[in-house]
Amino acid sequence: MSLSGSATLAAALERIPGVHNWSTGMGIGKPVVRGLKSNQVLVLADGQRLETQQWGDEHGSNAEFAHAERIELVRGPASVLYGSDALGGAINIVSPELPDAIGRSGFVRSRWSAGWTTGNDQPEGSLGLEGASGRIGWRLGLVGRKAADVRTPRGRVFNSGYGVLNGSASVGYHGTAGLLRLDYAHRREEVEIHEDPAEDPLATPLQKIQDDRLRLAFEGRGGEWRFDVQAGYQRNHRREFEAREAVELGEVAVGLISETYTGELHAHHPRLGRWDGTLGIAVLGTDVSRFGEEALVPSSFSRGAGIFAFEQASIGRTTMGLGVRLDYRHLEVDADPELGVPATTRSWTSLTGNAGLSHRIAEDVSLVLSAGRGYRVPSAFELFVNGEHEGTRRWR
């Protein structure tokens, strides 16, 4: 992925069959999986659910992938494993395992890369450092991109540049019971939005996004069972400005802050005959507050929980899978006279499941038959939006 030369996660994945990049600019890309996007495709980082206010057309996935070991893609309904929003599928950015120096001397090593994209004069670079001492391992990462306006055969696309700076840090302890790991990531983005030149050829609207993410995870064993436990926190701060001059004056047109709390426990049971499986519990909380001169969505908070079971068995070249999940979600919306929205409470309960069969005909050819039922809880944006969205210049 670090060699793909792509500015966004969606652009890096669009060469995969069934995946498309919904782009409204070089710095904005949303993955489309089997025709579904935004809140219908779930993006995760090491299993941590990412909430980047992705309901907006100009709200891309603020996830860095330059230092990823691999990116896992699940196409089709994946609500059994991931809950709401995984109707089209799920994308999980997986980072490398933290190193250790058990039985050897401590060490530090590095890697770096640099590149240049000519179409928009975009320099980019990444630096990674990692090391270990005994049972303790650590990793630091830094990625930066800065693009000017896009150039085309017919001229320059005014106000189409962007900039990204992403930093990450991880530390872990390899104990006899398992691995305890703490991850932190900080990301800043500035995205210029090209407007209709017939309406205002010199318009300079832009977004500024700051995203902070923290994750504490433990992977270990208890008897014949294997456990994965994690708790996460994410804060996504988004400001939209009508013009470049408004940034210096502090005049925010639309401002949104989303805080997300997640917790998961996966218990992998020992093999029962031919069957391997996982039992899981997940909890989720999201608080959204608005600020700025223009009202688009009301402030809200939601809470949810789910339990699931997934089983898989292999017989020769054939693999079978079965899963079921029960979810509950509760949403409370604050009264907002400016939007004409009264204080509102909504709740949903959903039962989902899937079953699949895969037969490997040849080394690179498989026949797959699957059926699944997914679900998605509507967002406060879909239920109560009422105003002009500065990012798209549309009334929503």
Phi, psi angles (nearest 5°) of residue 383: -85, -35
Distance, in Å, from the CA atom of 388 to the CA atom of 396, rounded to the nearest integer, reads 6
The distance of Cα 241 from the centroid of its chain, to the nearest Å, equals 24
| 285 has pLDDT over 90 | yes
Ranges 110-114, 211-215, 331-335, 383-387: which has the least confidence: 383-387
| 138 has pLDDT over 90 | yes
Q: What is the mean pLDDT of residues 294-304?
A: 90
Residue 95 DSSP symbol: P
The answer to whether residue 1 is domain-embedded is no
Query: At 121, which amino acid appears?
Result: D
The answer to whether residue 73 is domain-embedded is no
Strands (E), 175-253: 178-192, 206-222, 225-241
Is residue 11 classed as helix, strand or coil in its secondary structure?
Answer: helix
Could you give the percent of the chain with pLDDT greater than 90? 52
Beta-carbon-side half-sphere exposure of residue 27 (alpha carbons within 13 Å): 29
Distance, in Å, from the CA atom of 132 to the CA atom of 377, rounded to the nearest integer, reads 43
Distance, in Å, from the CA atom of 62 to the CA atom of 143, rounded to the nearest integer, reads 13
Angle at 209 between CA 166 and CA 390, to 5 degrees: 150
Q: Would you place residue 3 in the very low, low, confident or very high pLDDT band (cuts 50, 70, 90)?
A: very low
Q: Smallest Cα–Cα separation from 38: which of 27, 24, 22, 18?
A: 22
Q: Is the dihedral of CA 389, 52, 327, 81 positive or negative?
A: positive
Sort 59 into a burial class: Cβ within 10 Å, 0-12 / 13-18 / 19+: buried
Distance, in Å, from the CA atom of 39 to the CA atom of 258, rounded to the nearest integer, reads 15
Q: What is the mean pLDDT of residues 316-327?
A: 91
Phi, psi angles (nearest 5°) of residue 82: -120, -10
pLDDT given for residue 215 in this prediction: 98
Distance, in Å, from the CA atom of 200 to the CA atom of 301, rounded to the nearest integer, reads 37
The answer to whether residue 68 is domain-embedded is no
Give the total number of structural domains in the chain: 1
Which residues, at least 6 apart from 151, have a Cβ–Cβ distance to it below 8 Å? 119, 120, 121, 157
The answer to whether residue 334 is domain-embedded is yes
Q: Which two tokens stand for residue 304?
A: 């949810």
Q: Which two tokens stand for residue 216?
A: 């504490």
Distance, in Å, from the CA atom of 206 to the CA atom of 193, rounded to the nearest integer, reads 5
The answer to whether residue 314 is domain-embedded is yes
The answer to whether residue 3 is domain-embedded is no
Angle at 190 between CA 167 and CA 162, to 5 degrees: 100
Beta-carbon-side half-sphere exposure of residue 330 (alpha carbons within 13 Å): 5
Q: Does residue 29 or residue 146 have the better pLDDT?
A: 146
User: Which domain range does residue 325 map to?
Assistant: 105-395
Query: At 258, which amino acid appears?
Result: S
Buried b (16+ CB within 10 A) or exposed e, 75-96: bbbbbbbbbbbbbbbbbbbebe
Distance, in Å, from the CA atom of 308 to the CA atom of 374, rounded to the nearest integer, reads 13
Helix (H) or strand (E) segment spanning residue 286:
strand 275-291
Q: Would you place residue 259 in the very low, low, confident or very high pLDDT band (cuts 50, 70, 90)?
A: very high
Q: Does residue 215 or residue 196 have the better pLDDT?
A: 215
Entry pTM: 0.88
Q: Does residue 50 or residue 87 have the better pLDDT?
A: 50
| 56 has pLDDT over 70 | no
For the CA atoms of 271, 276, 279, 283, the dihedral, rounded to the nearest 10 degrees, stands at 140
The answer to whether residue 49 is domain-embedded is no
C-beta of residue 355 within 8 angstroms of C-beta of residue 371: yes
Residue with token string 């240049």: 116
Buried b (16+ CB within 10 A) or exposed e, 199-216: eeeebbbbbbbebebebe
Distance, in Å, from the CA atom of 33 to the CA atom of 287, rounded to the nearest integer, reads 27
Q: Which two tokens stand for residue 46?
A: 């090491």
Backbone torsion region of residue 21, taken as left when φ is above 0, otherwise alpha when ψ lies between -120 and 50, otherwise beta: beta
pLDDT given for residue 267 in this prediction: 96
What CATH number is associated with residue 231? 2.40.170.20
| 151 has pLDDT over 60 | yes
% helix, strand, coil for the chain, step of 5: 5, 60, 35
Which residues, at least 6 apart from 316, have a Cβ–Cβ distance to it below 8 Å? none
The radius of gyration of the chain from alpha carbons, rounded to an integer in Å, stands at 22
The answer to whether residue 202 is domain-embedded is yes
Q: What is the mean pLDDT of residues 259-267?
A: 96
